[in-house]
Amino acid sequence: MKIIYDRQTDTLTIVFTEAPVVESDEAAPGVILDFDAAGNLVALELLDASRRVTHPQQVTLQVTPTPTTP
């Protein structure tokens, strides 16, 4: 997974897989979903990211631990 913020275009992109994008849909104004040939989500793009995200140039990763079974 990659998270890319482009200051010039003010676009925040979260890439989930490197599969080629064959279709893009605007899920909401300024929110673009990119799909591969099988219909799987490849990436999410936020246009005008600085107005939608507090600090688009900073990323915090949080991983929830997997519960252990006795």
Reported as half-sphere exposure (CB side, CA atoms, 13 A), residue 29 has a value of 3
Residue 17: phi, psi to the nearest 5?
-150, 155
Q: Considering the chain, what is the average pLDDT of its residues?
A: 93
pLDDT tens across 27-67, in order? Answer: 999 999 999 999 999 999 999 999 998 888 888 888 898 88
CA-closest candidate to residue 19, choices 44, 45, 40: 40
Largest Cα separation within the chain, whole Å, is: 51
Confidence (pLDDT) at 69:
72
Question: pTM of the predicted model, to two decimals?
Answer: 0.83
Confidence (pLDDT) at 68:
80
Mean pLDDT of 2-12: 94
